[in-house]
Structure 1
Amino acid sequence: MATALQVTMSSLAPSSSSPSTRRRTLCCAVNSKNSAKIPIPPINPKDPFLSKLASVAATSPETLLNRPVSSDTPPYLDLFDSPKLMATPAQVERSVSYNEHRPRRPPPDLPSLLLHGRIVYIGMPLVPAVTELVIAELMYLQWMDPKEPIYIYINSTGTTRDDGETVGMETEGFAIYDALMQLKNEIHTVAVGAAIGHACLLLASGTKDKRFMMPHAKAMIQQPRVPSSGLMPASDVLIRAKEVITNRDTLVKLIAKHTGNSEESVATVMKRPFYMDSTKAKEFGVIDKILWRGQEKIMSDAASPEDWDRNAGIKVVDGI
């Protein structure tokens, strides 16, 4: 019994032979006709990596076993000489389950989707970069089809920020307005947030009966503001002030033209910031329709701000 145990332990002891000797012994065992074949599990035929590996293992297993010990190539990747197999992961299908819900191509960017739907979205103050992009999109859409309408969605504070600081010249708004007037297409304007200053002018300059406003959007017209003068001399400040007055008069004329009001009435309400909700904007002539989407009954039952003030006993002082 002790002798048998010693023989068994000696057979399990690690061999002192070199790695090359062990490799040759393993190769001989594989190449032996009497050696049993190792069963290969089912391989996904669409997986090029596993299919190639299984093919090499079945035809010439010594290729896998006689690999250099200190190879710089990751395991088995040197077997693939085809450039297609070395392509990016997006071009090589790994398995059916992995690719079942994977998109076949990257999704398009949202601005391209809007432009494909003939939608121009103005969602920033009117600075030179915004003006350049909007005019380019308008020209492109007219070139694509001069008969189809163009939809302009507006959520902009004009040439100022929401705190009143000037960020763009008044000519930015006039540039987009002039481009709109040159188009052959119908212009559908929609206010989706705020349309302030020159953005309100763009909202009102759409095609008649094609000017819309969301129920809770706001519109506001105001006088142009004098940009920061800094260390400019007094004469230059006076010149800039005169230019602002000229832009104000031009803005008054254009708003009066598109709203149907007189220039005197527009100039009067523009002495101070004149805010309009969707109902007031429709009454003033800035828009033609309100996109209620089933809220007509609710809004018709709601009292106007003037009725609320009257019922609450609040008196209006100096038109405020």
Structure 2
Amino acid sequence: MIGETMMGAYLRAPMAIPISSQSPSATLRRRRITRTTSCSAKIPIPPLNPKDPFLSKLASVAASSPETLLNRPLNSDTPPFLDIFDSPKLMATPAQVERSVSYNEHRPRRPPPDLPSLLLHGRIVYIGMPLVPAVTELIVAELMYLQYMDPKEPIYIYINSTGTTRDDGETVGMETEGFAIYDAMMQLKNEIHTVAVGAAIGHACLLLSAGTPGKRFMMPHAKAMIQQPRVPSSGLMPASDVLIRAKEVITNRDTLVKLLAKHTGNSEEAVANVMRRPYYMDSTKAKEFGVIDRILWRGQEKIMSDVAPPEEWDKGAGIKVLDGF
């Protein structure tokens, strides 16, 4: 609904009506429209990563044919909007807060719809940046809003984030940012479908594994990684303060190990052992470790349906089944 409203506001051109021909009711309607437009213009725009491949592809499709995104199928086994995204990639550069100036190098003939509204229309919460306070505030607010709109429909969380660090390992946020989103997810009544479309590192990997069992997905070329929390820069702090921070990091590490063990089905000792050093996982290894339940790739249903049963393979190979054993 929000996506349709924003799209309509973008695509409809204002009509000039002579003042002399306006009736009192028309003037009242005009005031209501002006008031609605001014209120919608004050909607805060979340920070977007201009180099994010998922948002770039979504923006180009929304500019060329927005009806394909708004008229999505309701009963689909695939999470919404993923059919337009073929090859997700690990983020190679630190995420930026600045918004993209243009949606693509060729300017569209008409302005595309507002991407945050389009994502909310699909009940999608997109984590495309490191978990800094501004991102955490937005994600928690979107989760609460979607539950308020419909507590029965599922919520889709798409993840392409390096967690509380950048891809070069520098700390950008407190560990509590990831725990705040995790606690908000655990309080929701809705089913939560988590999808890794790029990178799920550190606390982002925890959020990926915290989805509803059986509804945790990963794109074929996505990456997941778990690591120990990093100590923030101590600067010129006294030695006693540095020790206090180190103890807090150890506490956060133990909490992270317990939560990962809970959602992946592994023991705390196994999770702690692999977390001694950064532990990278592709989609196959992440499924084996219990981070996800299913790998999303096109054509897998058709390929699996075309596979012959074991009896047909045995018959084709000339193997006969002997009874009496």
TM-score bracket relative to the smaller structure = 0.5 to 0.7
Corresponding residue of 2:124: 119
How many residue pairs match? The answer is 203
Per the alignment, residue 190 of structure 1 pairs with 195
Q: Which has the larger radius of gyration?
A: 1
Q: Which of 248, 256, 263 in structure 2 is aligned with 1:258?
A: 263
Matched, 1:159 2:126: no
Out of 285, 288, 292, the residue aligned to residue 283 of structure 1 is: 288
1:218: how far off? 0.2
Task: Find 1:214's aligned residue among 216, 219, 229.
Answer: 219
Equivalent positions of 1:19-168 (< 5 A) are 107-168=112-173
Q: Deviations over 1:25-78 (max 9, x none)?
A: xxxxxxxxxxxxxxxxxxxxxxx99xxxxxxxxxxxxxxxxxxxxxxxxxxxxx
Q: Separation in 2 of the partners of 1:117 and 1:154?
A: 15
Partner of 2:207 in structure 1?
Answer: 202
In the TM superposition, what is the alpha-carbon distance from 1:294 to its structure 2 partner?
2.2
**1:106 and 1:207 mapped to 2: Cα distance?**
36
Which amino acid counterpart does residue 153 of structure 1 have in structure 2? Y
Distance 2:191 2:19 in 1: 59
Give distance in 1, aligned partners of 2:297 and 2:252: 35
Shift of residue 295, structure 1, vs aligned partner: 5.9
Whichever residue aligns with residue 130 of structure 1, its letter is V
Deviation of 1:114 (Å): 0.4
Partner of 2:224, secondary structure, is: strand
Per the TM alignment, residue 186 of structure 1 is displaced from its structure 2 partner at its CA by 0.1
Tell me the equivalent position of 2:311.
none
SS in 2 for 1:158: coil
The CA distance in 2 between the partners of 1:235 and 1:188, in whole Å, is: 43
Q: Which amino acid aligns with 1:277?
A: D
2:300 and 2:122 map into 1 onto residues whose CA distance is 26
Q: CA deviation at 1:116?
A: 1.1
Rounded to whole Å, the distance in 2 between the matches of 1:147 and 1:266 is 33
- Using the alignment, how far apart are the partners of 1:83 and 1:237 within structure 2? 74
Gaps of 5+ in 2: 1-14, 23-107, 305-325
Residue type at the aligned position of 2:297: W
Which amino acid is the alignment partner of residue 224 of structure 1?
Answer: P
Q: Verify: 1:180 aligned to 2:185, yes or no.
A: yes
Supply the AA of the counterpart residue of 1:139. Answer: M
Letter paired with 2:127: I
Give 1:258 deviation, angstroms. 0.0
Which of 229, 236, 251 is residue 234 of structure 2 equivalent to? 229
Unaligned runs of 5+ in 1: 1-47, 50-79, 85-102, 299-320
Query: Could you tell me which amino acid in structure 2 is paired with residue 183 of structure 1?
Result: L
- Residue identity matched to 1:231: L
Which of the residues 235, 239, 246 maps onto 1:241?
Answer: 246
AA matched with 1:288: D
Q: State the alpha-carbon separation in 1 of the partners of residues 112 and 256 from structure 2.
A: 42
Q: Choose the corresponding residue for 1:269, options 274, 294, 297.
A: 274
What SS does the aligned partner of 1:167 have? coil
Q: CA separation in 1, counterparts of 2:276 and 2:286?
A: 17
TM-score, scaled to structure 1 = 0.60
